[in-house]
Chains A and B, each alone.
Chain A
């Protein structure tokens, strides 16, 4: 049953023919050639053009906010010095002091300085006695109109989270505070501030109680049985590694307020001055972060306790003072007394608004300029349409803000615009896509392509070159063979026999 197997000549098989082979190589190369524009399109960096010149132009502009102050004619002597001084200390204020006999009509819309028996402030009016020396008068008015920015204040953000934490250092060692009447304390002490400053920031308040919050260091025991915290200890007091003091539910900046209850072994805990003596206060402020109040409970301690609102009063008044400092609220000059019982006067709130607005504009200018400079300097940095639209939006907000005189914006609207400009410029600068190709030299690109494509292209190139050489040889052979039969035909014609001619041509056809 062994079949009679022989082999055909491979060159006679249909798929061995030249044109099949060339079609196959051609189809491979066709797809590669068609893929080249796709390669270009998928690996090109998207760099939308940013309005560079506009940003530079905007960054040079200075913001000037007009401020009108109506002073009674009794203070006419102090006025010229006042104006220069204000312009010197706060360049963004274009102060104009109007001397007028009757400032009463300004009482509802502007700021007025009126004569009075003592130094007092009420809403937007300052009562001052005319006999006050010039220096005192100027310092008082300056502190109201253009207060210096507190370095401890946190940077402006349109949304803030206030996080109140009750930390028991060690609940297992004895006394533990299981809960506190935080709602009432907030309503009593914190809500007035947040509602008064509601135009500036949007506040979210969260609170928690923790039962085991160990310190990362040992406070030094003092001679009288107390434990002291040196100023160096205060800098490392917050054990950020082990304490979780704020939830990670949003990206808003947080101001932390910590009520720390030391463990029974280390009670009472006092703060030491730099010279070693115990200080009176049991609270300290951490700039731009928050505040800590240490609660030393009286002995003998019951095992579990609930802190009433009355017991929290002193702690929370400390917290409210710390909150005002952290928000940058300017302090009243100590000689001024407030005629209303509220701690926050509209004059000071307005000053804070103006200060924050100026700060926002400066920061927006800086951020935009840095963004544009960075993009122009680094060739490999992509600029996608989100960054582009954010830069455009920030510029638009700044243009609207600088146009306030024409559109008659209120102070709150102007602050909102400045906040939006700041937010958009920060988002554009810190966009994650901008950092992608910062350290990506061109050599890395070759390292990525070569392993895959060089090894794949070698057989293709070899096959293509081989086919090209064979085709060229074939063409040459065909051209050479086309010459020969004419020559032979001339030789054969003297025979002039049809059969001989046809036989010769047949033989030559077979031999080709």
Chain B
């Protein structure tokens, strides 16, 4: 699906349409919230929507260039950004959590801010559109970039720490985020190679030592400020009790991994744990948590040339396998999928994946209503539709991994070929293992 095929006229119409749609959706959500409850919540919701929208816009314009297409034209950027706006704002998986005033939209926004700041490695590089990624370090470049940590890196880590506080499962995104900070977000899927630091860091290891200390201090300060702000009202706390509160506060963050609530949700954990013996419960909690951690190292190793892609895949894994998933996790995955447009031609089965997701999304509320409200179905109906949703997530992840690896086998540029005429060669003995 090549974006630059679109006409300029079409792209302008699309942008106008998208802006109109965004405004209308805000109006509908505002009116809905007036109908249901007080108005001040709708303001927060508007802020959330605006925030996510702005984050994505910002990120798209400054982050993900270099499609394999070295030259950037302003139209392709604009039409790509309008496509992104449409897909993100029209996505029901994003609209519904926002309408439900769920905090998962805030989770998404915080995560996107973190990724955006991590991508923002140097604004001077973006100013020249025909810039190529070369190994040459010009004197002007070294003048602009200082040897100390750019502030964006610490900002990215701050927001990642905030996201981890909101839900502990985002810990699996910490290693690829570090890799993203140290390298560039530009797509290098076509030219895989070993992980290398961006050229602004002349002496990477000394930088690592200095910044690692700063980054760790930042995490600790972040936790500390959270605790202190939480308890600042009781300002007469002696120091020892404060440290104990700190420890308890941090331990409470891991509470979701002990699965305290077995309320049915679109995830795969709750059913398994309702039917299991108590004796095996801590063991299986450990297994399921470790399952999330299992995929971090392989994906980061395999996609070490493109850490943003590994973040994308890990977001997909998080959406499918976390303890308490929400609709906006899948929505974020779909949104990021649009950004990685260079892999779209290489996906093997995007339509079945989308249809499975659609199938599951339509059946889940139906079966939940049948079981919980009517009382005629039982939990197996609902869990089966949830499993279909997990299957769709798995299909999406596997397909993305396939496409990300397959793109490296191509020599030359093929992004302009229309989708219909493509024949993916299956005669090659492509051993895409793992």
Q: Which residues of A contact B (CB under 8 A)?
A: 1-8, 10, 13-16, 20-21, 23-25, 27-28, 31, 35, 38-39, 42-43, 45, 436-437, 440, 448, 452, 463
Q: B238 interface residue, CB < 8 Å from A?
A: no
Determine the distance from Cα of A25 to Cα of B294 in the docked complex, in whole angstroms: 11
Indicate if the CB atoms of B411 and A15 lie closer than 8 Å.
no
Determine the distance from Cα of A160 to Cα of B293 in the docked complex, in whole angstroms: 55
Chain B residue with the shortest CB-CB distance to A456: B291
B119 vs chain A, min Cβ distance (A): 22
Q: B305 interface residue, CB < 8 Å from A?
A: yes
Indicate if the CB atoms of A8 and B409 lie closer than 8 Å.
yes
Determine the distance from Cα of A24 to Cα of B295 in the docked complex, in whole angstroms: 10
Q: Which residues of B contact A (CB under 8 A)?
A: 192-194, 276-280, 282-283, 286-287, 290, 293-294, 297-298, 301-305, 405, 408-417, 425, 428-431, 433-434
A431 vs chain B, min Cβ distance (A): 14
Indicate if the CB atoms of B290 and A31 lie closer than 8 Å.
yes
Residues of B within 8 A of A25 (CB): 434
Indicate if the CB atoms of A27 and B412 lie closer than 8 Å.
no
Indicate if the CB atoms of B279 and A35 lie closer than 8 Å.
no
Indicate if the CB atoms of A7 and B410 lie closer than 8 Å.
yes
Indicate if the CB atoms of B413 and A3 lie closer than 8 Å.
yes
Given A21-B433, A21-B434, A25-B434, answer yes or no on A31-B305 (Cβ-Cβ < 8 Å). no
Determine the distance from Cα of A45 to Cα of B413 in the docked complex, in whole angstroms: 61
Chain B residue with the shortest CB-CB distance to A466: B433
Determine the distance from Cα of A20 to Cα of B299 in the docked complex, in whole angstroms: 11
Residues of A within 8 A of B413 (CB): 3, 5
Residues of B within 8 A of A16 (CB): 431
Indicate if the CB atoms of B414 and A35 lie closer than 8 Å.
no
Chain A residue with the shortest CB-CB distance to B408: A13
Known: A28-B298, A43-B280. 17 other contacts (CB 8 A): A2-B417, A4-B412, A7-B411, A7-B428, A8-B410, A13-B409, A14-B305, A15-B303, A15-B305, A15-B408, A20-B302, A21-B434, A23-B301, A24-B298, A24-B301, A25-B434, A448-B280
Residues of A within 8 A of B283 (CB): 39, 42-43
Determine the distance from Cα of A4 to Cα of B416 in the docked complex, in whole angstroms: 11
Chain A residue with the shortest CB-CB distance to B191: A14
User: What are 12 A-B pairs with beta-carbon distances under 8 A?
Assistant: A2-B417, A3-B412, A7-B428, A10-B430, A21-B434, A24-B297, A24-B302, A27-B298, A27-B301, A42-B283, A448-B276, A463-B434
Determine the distance from Cα of A25 to Cα of B298 in the docked complex, in whole angstroms: 8
Q: Tell me which of B193, B278, B282, B425 contacts A436 (CB under 8 A).
A: B278
Indicate if the CB atoms of B290 and A436 lie closer than 8 Å.
no
Determine the distance from Cα of A2 to Cα of B414 in the docked complex, in whole angstroms: 7
Indicate if the CB atoms of B279 and A8 lie closer than 8 Å.
no
Determine the distance from Cα of A6 to Cα of B414 in the docked complex, in whole angstroms: 10
Residues of B within 8 A of A7 (CB): 409-411, 425, 428
Determine the distance from Cα of A24 to Cα of B433 in the docked complex, in whole angstroms: 10
Indicate if the CB atoms of A6 and B411 lie closer than 8 Å.
yes
Determine the distance from Cα of A463 to Cα of B431 in the docked complex, in whole angstroms: 13
Indicate if the CB atoms of B280 and A28 lie closer than 8 Å.
no
Indicate if the CB atoms of B192 and A14 lie closer than 8 Å.
yes
Identify the 10 closest CB pairs spanning chains A and B, nearest first.
A27-B297, A42-B283, A42-B282, A14-B192, A6-B411, A24-B298, A3-B413, A5-B414, A3-B414, A1-B416
B275 vs chain A, min Cβ distance (A): 11
A202 vs chain B, min Cβ distance (A): 35
Determine the distance from Cα of A1 to Cα of B298 in the docked complex, in whole angstroms: 37
Residues of B within 8 A of A14 (CB): 192-194, 305
Chain B residue with the shortest CB-CB distance to A20: B301
Given A10-B428, A38-B286, A437-B279, answer yes or no on A15-B433 (Cβ-Cβ < 8 Å). no
Determine the distance from Cα of A196 to Cα of B153 in the docked complex, in whole angstroms: 79
B10 vs chain A, min Cβ distance (A): 18
B318 vs chain A, min Cβ distance (A): 17
Chain B residue with the shortest CB-CB distance to A452: B287
Residues of B within 8 A of A2 (CB): 416-417
Q: Tell me which of B192, B277, B412, B431 contacts A5 (CB under 8 A).
A: B412
Residues of A within 8 A of B293 (CB): 31
Chain A residue with the shortest CB-CB distance to B282: A42
Determine the distance from Cα of A24 to Cα of B299 in the docked complex, in whole angstroms: 8
Indicate if the CB atoms of B411 and A463 lie closer than 8 Å.
no
Q: Tell me which of B277, B297, B409 contacts A10 (CB under 8 A).
A: B409
B409 vs chain A, min Cβ distance (A): 5
Given A14-B192, A23-B301, A24-B298, answer yes or no on A8-B278 (Cβ-Cβ < 8 Å). no
Residues of B within 8 A of A448 (CB): 276-277, 280
Indicate if the CB atoms of B294 and A31 lie closer than 8 Å.
yes
Determine which residue in A4, A20, A436 has the highest number of CB atoms from chain B within 10 A of its CB, and name it. A20
Indicate if the CB atoms of A28 and B294 lie closer than 8 Å.
yes
Determine the distance from Cα of A23 to Cα of B194 in the docked complex, in whole angstroms: 13
Indicate if the CB atoms of A35 and B287 lie closer than 8 Å.
yes
Determine the distance from Cα of A408 to Cα of B417 in the docked complex, in whole angstroms: 101
Residues of B within 8 A of A24 (CB): 297-298, 301-302, 434
A468 vs chain B, min Cβ distance (A): 15
Residues of A within 8 A of B298 (CB): 24, 27-28
Residues of B within 8 A of A35 (CB): 286-287, 290
Determine the distance from Cα of A14 to Cα of B408 in the docked complex, in whole angstroms: 9
Residues of B within 8 A of A452 (CB): 287
Q: Tell me which of A10, A28, A38, A436 contacts B431 (CB under 8 A).
A: A10
Indicate if the CB atoms of A436 and B279 lie closer than 8 Å.
yes
A73 vs chain B, min Cβ distance (A): 71
Residues of A within 8 A of B193 (CB): 14
Determine the distance from Cα of A42 to Cα of B286 in the docked complex, in whole angstroms: 8
Determine the distance from Cα of A191 to Cα of B20 in the docked complex, in whole angstroms: 81
Determine the distance from Cα of A42 to Cα of B288 in the docked complex, in whole angstroms: 13
Determine which residue in A15, A38, A452 has the highest number of CB atoms from chain B within 10 A of its CB, and name it. A15
B191 vs chain A, min Cβ distance (A): 9
B413 vs chain A, min Cβ distance (A): 4
Residues of A within 8 A of B282 (CB): 42
Indicate if the CB atoms of A3 and B408 lie closer than 8 Å.
no
A288 vs chain B, min Cβ distance (A): 35
Indicate if the CB atoms of B294 and A5 lie closer than 8 Å.
no
Q: Tell me which of A1, A8, A23 contacts B411 (CB under 8 A).
A: A8
Given A20-B302, A43-B283, A436-B278, answer yes or no on A15-B416 (Cβ-Cβ < 8 Å). no
Indicate if the CB atoms of A5 and B297 lie closer than 8 Å.
no
Residues of B within 8 A of A463 (CB): 433-434
Chain B residue with the shortest CB-CB distance to A31: B294
Determine the distance from Cα of A61 to Cα of B71 in the docked complex, in whole angstroms: 96
Indicate if the CB atoms of A3 and B416 lie closer than 8 Å.
yes
Residues of B within 8 A of A437 (CB): 279
Chain B residue with the shortest CB-CB distance to A382: B279
Determine which residue in A6, A16, A39 has the highest number of CB atoms from chain B within 10 A of its CB, and name it. A16
Residues of B within 8 A of A436 (CB): 278-279
Chain A residue with the shortest CB-CB distance to B293: A31
Determine the distance from Cα of A2 to Cα of B433 in the docked complex, in whole angstroms: 30
Residues of B within 8 A of A5 (CB): 410-414, 417
Given A15-B405, A24-B434, answer yes or no on A3-B425 (Cβ-Cβ < 8 Å). no
Determine which residue in B414, B417, B431, B433 has the highest number of CB atoms from chain A within 10 A of its CB, and name it. B433
Determine the distance from Cα of A2 to Cα of B305 in the docked complex, in whole angstroms: 27
Q: Tell me which of B279, B414, B428 contacts A440 (CB under 8 A).
A: B279
